[in-house]
């Protein structure tokens, strides 16, 4: 005797939920942040760091936060605060009160929007977005964040007295 066909309730439930998901398009991603390491600087030690200098938990935190940052727009992160500070701060010009210096391989540094993402306490990831003019001229996205420095000691834009 053959066994009667049993329906797999879990399988059917999952398939039904997939049917109800909204279709996504690439247009949904036009304002989302992307991350680039094209201009990542490795030669400003001890002020800046490279990935090997950060403990495993710091590297993991960076990856997890970048995963979150890329799900939303620049404006979203400028409006999100932690301990009274925006998670994304855009400074415009390179900070005058910085222990870092502009790497020579960065094109037109005075026309960039120097910025930082706050990860935790003093830990920052610093870099830039391109201006609208530069984006149009070179067909770039104004929503790409170019990581230049890892800054575990808040030395990119110093605000506190040492």
Going residue by residue through the chain, which has 162 residues, state the pLDDT in tens, using 9 for 90 and above: 555 555 666 666 655 655 555 666 666 677 999 999 999 999 998 999 999 999 999 999 999 999 999 999 999 999 999 888 899 999 999 999 999 999 999 999 999 999 999 998 899 999 999 999 999 999 999 999 999 999 999 999 987 554
Pair 78, 86: CB distance under 8 Å? yes
In the block, tokens 């439930």 appear at: 13
Question: What pairs with residue 120 in β-bridges?
Answer: 123
CA angle 72, 76, 81 (to 5 degrees): 120
φ and ψ at residue 64, rounded to 5 degrees: -65, -40
Residues sharing a CB contact under 8 Å with residue 31, sequence separation 6 or more, in sequence order = 73, 74, 75, 143
pLDDT attached to residue 162:
46
Token pair, residue 131, equals 């201006």
Exposed, middle or buried: residue 90 (CB in 10 Å: 0-12, 13-18, 19+)? middle
Task: Please name the helix (run of DSSP H) or strand (run of DSSP E) that holds residue 156, with its range, or none.
Answer: none
Q: Report the alpha-carbon distance of residue 81 to residue 77 in Å, rounded.
A: 8
- Say whether pTM exceeds 0.75: yes
């Amino acid at each position: 005797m053959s066994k009667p066909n049993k329906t797999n309730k879990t399988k059917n439930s999952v398939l039904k939920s997939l049917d109800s998901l909204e279709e996504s398009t690439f247009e949904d991603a036009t304002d989302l942040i992307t991350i680039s390491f094209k201009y990542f600087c490795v030669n400003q030690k001890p002020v800046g760091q490279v990935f090997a200098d950060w403990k495993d938990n710091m590297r993991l935190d960076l990856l997890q936060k970048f995963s979150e940052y890329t799900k939303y727009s620049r404006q979203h992160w400028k409006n999100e605060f932690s301990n009274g500070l925006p998670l994304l701060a855009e400074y415009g010009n390179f900070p005058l009160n910085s222990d870092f210096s502009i790497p020579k391989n960065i094109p037109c540094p005075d026309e960039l929007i120097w910025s930082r993402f706050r990860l935790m306490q003093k830990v920052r990831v610093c870099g830039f977005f391109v201006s609208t003019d530069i984006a149009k001229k070179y067909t770039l996205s104004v929503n790409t964040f170019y990581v230049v420095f890892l800054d575990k000691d808040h030395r990119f834009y110093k605000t506190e007295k040492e």
